Amino acid sequence: MKTPKYCKFSFISINKTLAESVAWDSLTKKQVKVFIYIWSCLQWHKEKRKRAYPLNNGKIEISTIKMRKSLGISKQTCSIAVSKLIEVGLIRLTRYGENRVCHMYKILYEVVPQKEERWKKYPEKNWKDECPKEPNTLVGLKTRFKSHPNKVDLNSNKQSSRVDLNKGNSQVELTQNDINEGNKQSTSLGSII
């Protein structure tokens, strides 16, 4: 038995207005599959003799790992597809996920009022600025390929070679004579033993 690609859902209808729109024409086959996958995650409620309505639109939590595994697409293809769907106005990000928290989506087609259907305004207007951004992993960008980013000039290094016990941490300043006398005492002790 073949494992299902999508969550449990009975139908998706693509009306003529969407099918002939610039937003729909700009999508690739894999981006359409991602849209259908997000649609399939809607949970429907139906009352007697009334039209069914989605319960979780705007709160659709989807693990991109599960989506990629189900659809058989790479991480990059999945993130490009989500960004494209946001850009053309078919979905909107309602929560930015990070640190093992899923993104939360809202579908802006057919299950929302017409004034919220952004895709009708594409390409005159796009929502590229709402797409999830890559995390800032540019730590050390300026020094990444340099062996010594800040070379120490030993000639201009003004560090003291003496320890001062009277200042700060009860350290005493030793002179060169004190060091020489200490060496003489250790050699004389070595000769006695």
Predicted confidence (pLDDT) per residue in 51-81, tens digit: 777 788 888 888 888 888 888 999 899 889 9
For β-strands 103-107 and 91-95, DSSP reports them as antiparallel
Residue 29 pLDDT level (bands cut at 50, 70, 90): very high
pLDDT of residue 189: 46
pTM of the full structure? 0.64
Is the model more confident about 22 or about 161?
A: 22
pLDDT of residue 26: 92
Residue 151 pLDDT level (bands cut at 50, 70, 90): low
Buried (b) or exposed (e) across 166-192, using 16+ Cβ within 10 A?
eeeeeeeeeeeeeeeeeeeeeeeeeee
- Start-to-end CA distance of the chain, whole Å, equals 89
pLDDT of residue 55: 81
- Of all residues in the chain, what percent carry a pLDDT higher than 70? 63
Q: Which strand (E) or helix (H) includes residue 92?
A: strand 91-95
What average pLDDT does this structure show over 112-119? 88
Mean pLDDT of the chain: 76
Least confident window among 50-64, 128-142, 151-165:
151-165
pLDDT of residue 171: 47
- Of all residues in the chain, what percent carry a pLDDT higher than 90? 17
* Sole residue written with tokens 């980013």: 149
CB neighbours (10 Å) of residue 35?
Answer: 23
Q: Give 74's contacts (C-beta < 8 A, 6+ positions apart).
A: 68
Predicted confidence (pLDDT) per residue in 162-185, tens digit: 555 555 554 455 555 655 665 555
